[in-house]
Structure 1
Amino acid sequence: MASLSRSSLLVALSFAIFFINPSFAKPRPNVTDAEIITICSKTPAPSFCLKVLSNETLHANQTSLHGLAKISIELALASADETQVEISPLIKQAENYTVREGYTLCSQNYQEAVASLKDAKRLLSKHDYRGVRVQALAALEEAEACEHDLRIPAFNPSPLHDKNEEFKHYCNIIWAITNRLVDYY
């Protein structure tokens, strides 16, 4: 008898959760090519975005917008990790204090960017799309701070410029996707 009432309570509670938060009950359709084009048109580098999101290994058309945000966060994290790997030897090879300090600050910026993206990942799992958007912007600002740290003649041109730009593009993709998620949910 207690088992039956406990089962009934669980079923009733499950239905209540679906009615209280209908976004969990909504089917999440797969992303379409048109939606990818719309998302990419909202970024500063649409061609980069299209190249990334149209990459067949991502299977973007086989996932929801939420899943695409998760994939994009992972890509941004991988890009940040690659950039940090490039920074470490530059710090060791620095010819003077100014150069070493610039790379050290840049390394710290990327540590903060990674922390922001990990927060974005956590917030995405809670469906806090506005929070994800804020964290993507925070990570982007860290990359811009790194760029600023390297805007002195000793770094002209900066060996991190291309990596920094790529990372910023990934952050902009996350931002554009989460804007769509905020609109939908």
Structure 2
Amino acid sequence: MEDARSDNRKDAPDARMAIPKDARACFICSKHHSPEARGMAVYEDAYVVASLMIAGAEERRAYLGYAIVETKRHAPALGDLHAQEAGAVGEAMNRVSAALRKALNAEHVYAFVQGDGVPHFHMHLVPRYTGTPDRYRHPVNILQWPDAPRGGAAELEAIRDSVRAALANVDEASCGRGEPAS
């Protein structure tokens, strides 16, 4: 299976980060080095990894297209990020959100932070599909939608491949929909 870094990695002198000595003690560090989770990565640079959420895949109940952007370094809150990490999080959110919209024909992508429980800043990206009932049109409520697109490993792999392909065609100029404020 192709590694997400091959098409979406930013060249940086420290792009190949060493595995931290305490990786086994940290859920997110362990995840970043797990073959199963790494296989769902859609974007990676020197500071962040973006991957599809696999929770519920065994029961074919994973919300399809739900992605998460996580810092590689232990930095639990937005205010703990250094400028390069904050920029990398922003770029990853922008590019992955655009790719999710394109690959899944999503009408919107919710972005939210819970910020508890793990020592890595992480941003949740959840696509809203056409036909989502009004009562589920909220970043947390959407996950409760009983008729939301859900699936297992095969569906997640197909979406991963579609998002990676969309990312290959997403550049900074095509992400934004408007002009910068003057």
More helix by share: 1
TM-score above 0.5, yes or no: no
TM-score, with normalisation over the residues of structure 1?
A: 0.28
Q: Which has the larger radius of gyration?
A: 1
- TM-score, normalised relative to structure 2: 0.28
Q: Hey, which of these two has a bigger chunk of strand by percent?
A: 2
